[in-house]
Amino acid sequence: MFSYCTDPDTLGTFRWFSCYLTTGVHMSFYWAFLKVLVLLAITAPVALAFGFGGAIAARSHVLPVSWLGKGYIAIVRGVPDIAFFLFFVIALDQGFEMLKHWVVCPDWTDPIRQGNDFLVCPQAKVPLGTAPEWVHQTYSFFIAVITFSIVFGAFAANVLFGAMRAVPHAQIETAEAYGMTRRQTFWRILVPQMWVYALPGLSNLWMVLIKATPLLFLLGVEDIVYWARELGGTKTPRFTDYPHPDWRMWYFLALLVFYLAFTRVSEIVLERLMQRLSHGQATTGGEAQRKAAA
Q: Tens of pLDDT along 149-169?
A: 988 999 999 999 888 888 888
Residue 144 counted as domain residue: yes
pLDDT digit string (tens) for the chain, length 294 residues: 666 677 766 767 777 777 778 887 888 888 888 888 898 999 999 999 999 999 999 888 888 888 998 898 888 878 887 787 778 778 888 888 888 888 888 887 777 777 777 778 778 787 777 778 878 888 888 888 888 898 899 999 999 988 888 888 888 888 888 888 888 888 888 888 888 888 888 999 999 888 888 877 777 777 888 888 888 888 777 667 777 788 888 889 998 999 999 999 999 998 888 887 766 555 555 545 555 555
178 and 192 Cβ atoms separated by less than 8 Å: no
Q: What is the CATH number of the domain that holds 31?
A: 1.10.3720.10
Residue 271 counted as domain residue: no
Residue 278 counted as domain residue: no
216 and 144 Cβ atoms separated by less than 8 Å: yes
pLDDT of residue 288: 52
The domain in which residue 88 lies consists of: 3-226
266-279 in b/e burial notation, b at 16+ Cβ within 10 A? beeebeeeeeebbe
136 and 127 Cβ atoms separated by less than 8 Å: yes
Residue 255 counted as domain residue: no
pLDDT of residue 243: 77
Q: Which tens digit of pLDDT belongs to each residue from 47-78?
A: 999 999 999 998 888 888 889 988 988 888 78
- On the 0-12 / 13-18 / 19+ scale of CB atoms within 10 A, 73 is buried
Residue 294 counted as domain residue: no
What's the per-residue H, E or C state across the chain? CCHHHHCHHHCCHHHHHHHHCCCHHHHHHHHHHHHHHHHHHHHHHHHHHHHHHHHHHHCCCCHHHHHHHHHHHHHHHHCCHHHHHHHHHHHHHHHHHHHHHHHHCCCCCCCCEECCEECCCHHHCCCCCCCCHHHHHHHHHHHHHHHHHHHHHHHHHHHHHHHHHHCCHHHHHHHHHCCCCHHHHHHHHHHHHHHHHHHHHHHHHHHHHHHHHHHHHHHCCCCHHHHHHHHHCCECCCCCCCCECCCHHHHHHHHHHHHHHHHHHHHHHHHHHHHHHHCCCCCHHHHHHHHHHC
How far apart are alpha carbons 111 and 129 in whole angstroms? 21
69 and 57 Cβ atoms separated by less than 8 Å: yes
Residue 153 counted as domain residue: yes
Residue 55 counted as domain residue: yes
Residue 257 counted as domain residue: no
Domain count, the chain: 1
pLDDT of residue 2: 65
